[in-house]
Amino acid sequence: MLRCSGMGSVFGTVFRVTTFGESHGPAVGAIIDGCPPRIALDVAEVQRELDRRRPGQSRIVTQRQEEDRVEILSGVQDGVTLGTSIALMVRNQDQKSSDYEEMRTKYRPSHADYTYQAKYGVRAWQGGGRASARETIGRVAAGAVAKKVLAALSGAEVLAWVRTVADLEASVDPATVTAAAVEANIVRCPDAAVAERMIALIDEVRKAGDSVGGVVEVVARGVPVGLGDPVFDKLEADLGKALLSVPACKGIEVGSGFAGTRMRGSQHNDPFYNEAGRIRTRTNHSGGIQGGISNGEPILLRAAFKPTATILRDQDTVDESGAAVVLHPRGRHDPCVLPRAVPIVEAMVALVLCDHLLRQRAQCG
């Protein structure tokens, strides 16, 4: 059978990111091409974002203990970007490949074991290789750089938070939510009362060896008008691809999302008005995007994450020969991916917006 490799680890058009590394290999990271020169960048700013993603940060995430210390290998000098390729690397440390011995020949239900084996004829069974969430280290590191470019060239900011865990839903105003409120608790939900209930639920499923999913909401404020290209590179299309490429993400909504299907056009349309010479909309059911192009209003999205596939319960499955077996999982896994997914979602939105901002400047000045 013919086996081939693709370009699935490369993302972006002008601000172009390539991530590399397996979860149990020597290192993971990213290479960024197309970053403008003279953008202020300190390694501590990248590290701050990685600290939000790293394992072991609280009792409701995986207890794998890795500092995830980032090294900037190129493209930055004296605190500014050079305009050349930026290489970012994090060395893997706390690996316990023996925890995955059970998965050497057995396929974990709803994981990537079978599909990777079917596609390539080989797979990195220790930790899942490229299917592991450790691949997202490169995304978050590159996203930290994208955030700096966005802030420097447009003043835009990206902020995400946990909106729901299972059927628990927070009440959050995207116009006023702050990073301090998001980071005020270990579940990263700015609704303090609901956050306590979310933490209790995650603790409950963790102790039961199970997992739970939910929704991360994200807002991009200060995004200039005009980002996005018709027809296939509409802004929401690229944002959708970016978020759906994140491990465990199974759906996205823009603006009103599916709730908009229950509204009439007279209710859903966003009326325009002139605010001191700036065209605005009185409502934002469009989520800041119309015709695939940003309209200057806050861009609002929601990303749905399934329950973590690897759970600490016996499960029926098959092995590589197709024989029925029982999987007895071990290891350290997230009972809920949402708290650590927040910086990943922010990173992917920042990467898309940064890329489209640079494309817009190149095309229209």
User: 159-218 pLDDT, tens per residue?
Assistant: 999 999 999 999 999 999 999 999 999 999 999 999 999 999 999 999 999 999 999 999
Section 91-103 average pLDDT? 72
Q: How far is residue 208's CA from residue 192's CA, in Å, rounded to a whole number?
A: 25
Task: Kindly report, residue by residue over 118-132, the tens digit of the pLDDT.
Answer: 999 998 887 778 888
Mean pLDDT is lowest, of 136-140, 189-193, 275-279, 327-331, for: 327-331
Residue 331's pLDDT is 67
88: pLDDT confidence band, cut at 50, 70 and 90? very high
Q: How confident is the model at residue 245, as a pLDDT?
A: 97
Q: What is the pLDDT of residue 1?
A: 38
Q: How far apart are CA 173 and CA 153, in angstroms?
A: 26
Amino acid identity for residue 94 in this structure? D
pLDDT of residue 96: 60
CATH for the 10-364 domain, from 3.30.460.20, 3.60.150.10, 3.30.499.10, 3.40.50.1380: 3.60.150.10
Q: Where does the pLDDT of residue 71 fall: very low under 50, low under 70, confident under 90, or very high at 90 and above?
A: very high
CA distance 282 to 274: 10
Reported confidence tier of residue 300, pLDDT bands at 50, 70, 90: very high
Please give the average per-residue pLDDT across 258-285, as a whole number: 97
> Quick one: pLDDT at residue 3?
47
Task: Quote the CA–CA distance of 340 and 334 in Å, as a whole number.
Answer: 9
Task: Please determine, for residue 104, whether its predicted confidence score (pLDDT) is greater than 60.
Answer: yes
Chain-wide mean pLDDT for the chain?
Answer: 93
Lowest mean pLDDT, pick from 5-14, 75-84, 158-167, 291-300: 5-14
The yes-or-no verdict on residue 280 having pLDDT over 50 is: yes
Higher pLDDT, 183 or 364: 183
pLDDT tens sequence across 15-49: 999 999 988 889 999 999 999 999 999 999 999 99
Residue 270: pLDDT band with limits 50, 70, 90: very high
In this prediction the pTM is 0.95
Phi/psi of residue 316, nearest 5 degrees: -75, 140
Domain limits, the chain: 10-364
- Res 7 pLDDT > 80: no
Range with the poorest average pLDDT among 99-108, 149-158, 224-233: 99-108
How far apart CA 18 and CA 364 sit, in angstroms, is: 26
The token pair that represents 267 in the structure block: 């209710």
